[in-house]
Chains A and B, each alone.
Chain A
Amino acid sequence: MRNSWIIAMRELRERLGSRSFLLMAILGPLVVLTFTYLIFQFGGKEQQKWHVLIVDPANVMDHKIMSKEDPNITYSFATNYVEIEQFADEKRFAPFDAMVEVNEKVLSNKSCFLFYREKPSFTMSVNIRYQVERRLEEVLARQFTDLSVVNFRKIKQPLSFVFRNVYDPQDVKGDLAGWIGLFFGAVIFVFIFLFGMTILRSVSREKTNRVVEILLATVKPRSLMLGKILGIGISAFLQVFLWVLIIGLGLYFMRETIFVDIYDASNQVDGQASDYNQFVELVFDRVQFGVMLFYFSLFFACGYLFYGAFFAALGAISGSESDGQQFLIPLILILCFALYAGYFALENPDSLWTSFLMYFPFTAPVVAMVKLSVGFAPGDEYQLFVSLFLLLASSIGVIAIAARLFKNGLLQFGHTLRFRNIILWLKIK
């Protein structure tokens, strides 16, 4: 173990000294933070600015729409009829992005049409509909009832009918939380792939420049392989730690400064649909980062050991650095399948297949993270530990097999890797 540690420390020093490590450790989380900021900032509030013509021949709306102006939508009113062709072709209508047709019978037939030149974003369409509807409610309340608009809206409010999981009545872990689990699982696999490739390249390079012969004259192949996996794994953990630290600090900073008003309902722009801060709420309130990060670390470590052994063995049995690339394809496909399995688990958290995929070591890290974030039924939490145990046990088994390939393939040079070589080297003790 001492020699494995010496080899691990050399690997670690080499990784820490490389520019790509520093670049990835600092730029990576900054990119994630930037995307997070953009989603927070613009995820729901479409930056489109529209000029909307409301064609209201009966002047039902009385040239009014909202008490407060929407910074992204400007309304103009026309009380004459405008044909669709006219709107489409005539120059005087060119400044308008859309035309809302409010017919004379709108109060009875409750039907409106919006003709657009370019399809509006989801938020834009929600906002226009919402604002026109609110104005028509005012007209309806005034014309047909003695109620105030506020009371009219109370009556008009549809029945809220919510589906909730009996084990999660507060909906702490909803579908959205499942996405966070999938995100954690995907991060595990991205890092496994990136650092797995580092193992493969490192082993191949040592074969190419023949350092491996000197190393094998002092350490056992298994110690060498473990040292490599360990050293590169520590650097991967450091990388993840830096990501968590930078992203965590960034999110905290955003919450305390840029998005401080998101929690204050009174700060919301009047008349705007407030669906956009679901994501913010999800990130800041609903994700249990402590628990997620704890299990993330465990599954990452075991998943990395499991896949890392494959990458190390592949590097060892390759005749050249490029030789291993073709055998990477099945490994990449398995990684892609694992990501898909995570998505499947998100959609079908309680299916038997999901349970199987959570125990299947190739897919366990991502599926377990999704299941963890979606939540287990009371009494089923043990499944997480079974999954972890099976992954760890499989890792040990894979390392033993990979070590044999590593040992027998490491001193084979210049050959073209074939499947029968792999079988042969697996047989040799």
Chain B
Amino acid sequence: MDPSRKRRIRLTVALTAALLLASALVYTSFSAGEDVVTTSQLLKQAKPGETYILGGTVVSDQHDGSVLMFRVRDPKLDESVPIRYKGLVPDPFAVGRGILVTVQDQGGQFVGQPGSLTTKCPSKFQDANAKAA
């Protein structure tokens, strides 16, 4: 086969593979991605039984037996929602730190799903603490 034709075929195959991979990636990420809602969005959108990924800053926390009660605030607005969470709490969890938690609207109360609570990497807190102080 003519070498230049061979090269063209190889290039076409490689580009097609890249295009397919890229399309699959874009499609999968958009279909698998879950909306991260802020406190204010959660208060507006929440429907009983639905789950949401809530992102925000912890403004208060209190242990009640094995249940952790905490409030999450919208980073931009002065609105907060109470969350009831039962499950392993990551060590970096603390007031003033940013978290993500999957919550379910259970008749007006937001209940965190066990194991869904994640917090920021502790090595990056220093400035957050300094500024919060």
> Do A and B bind?
no
